Amino acid sequence: MVDFILASGSPRRKDLLLSENYQFRVVPAGIEEWPPGKFPFHQLCEENAVLKAGEVSAKYPEAVVLGADTLVGLEGEVMGKPGSLSEAVSMLERLSGREHEVCTGVCLRCGGEKYSFFEVSRVRFKDLDSFLIEDYLGRVNVLDKAGAYAVQEHGEMLVDHLEGAYDNVVGLPVSEVSKGLARFGVLPGTS
């Protein structure tokens, strides 16, 4: 059996992998991510995933390690996780009525072998007023979510249109991840 490790404490990523019948353990990476501006938006997501996978892979070189990073991009601005509820309100106000990108970078590592990529989905928000934003923030804990929202938690309140992979917006493009895992011998139900 292949030792498969998810280098993320994200319950959403864990649930997405479990829904596909993968067997794995969770060892969250404890590294400082690259800040916005260090790399172009899409590359930043991928480089952060490489950092996370690399840190955990160094401890478990025989295991297949999956690192991932999801960020929201709006016209050149990179949005990570809000630091406060007031920052979350500001993010949602900026996203209101506009289209943005959700990019997830993914890295798979096993010893010296590495495979990384990123996937982008586009999301258009409805026009959000202050009452709707307040209602949404009362229902969903957004402080651990890029762009201050979770499409899978009352996303219907915010999202007008989604183009691309839904699970990518949740935090892991499972179809592409599955193809990558198969390259390392990790298959659903057998890892």
Domain ranges of the chain: 4-183
Q: What is the rounded average pLDDT for all residues in the chain?
A: 95
Contact 22, 40 (CB under 8 A): no
Q: Residue 91 in contact with residue 79, Cβ under 8 Å?
A: yes
State pLDDT tens for residues 36-50. 888 899 999 999 999
Structure tokens at 147: 């762009």
Report whether 48 contacts 34 (CB < 8 A).
yes
127 classed as catalytic: no
Can you name the CATH fold of 4-183? Maf protein (3.90.950)
Burial annotation 127-150 (CB, 10 A radius, 16+ → b, else e) = ebeeeebeebbeebebeebbbbbb
Q: Of residues 69, 127, 135, 167, which has the active-site annotation?
A: 69
Contact 4, 186 (CB under 8 A): yes
1 vs 115, higher pLDDT: 115
The 10s digit of each residue's pLDDT in 24-34 is 999 999 998 88
* Cα 72 from Cα 92, distance rounded (Å): 11
pTM: 0.93
Q: Quote the pLDDT of residue 190.
A: 62
Spatial neighbors of 168 by CB under 8 A, at least 6 apart, are 70, 102, 104, 119, 120, 121
Whether pLDDT at 191 is above 60:
no
Burial of 18 (0-12, 13-18, 19+ CB in 10 A): exposed
Say how far apart CA 29 and CA 81 lie, in whole Å: 17
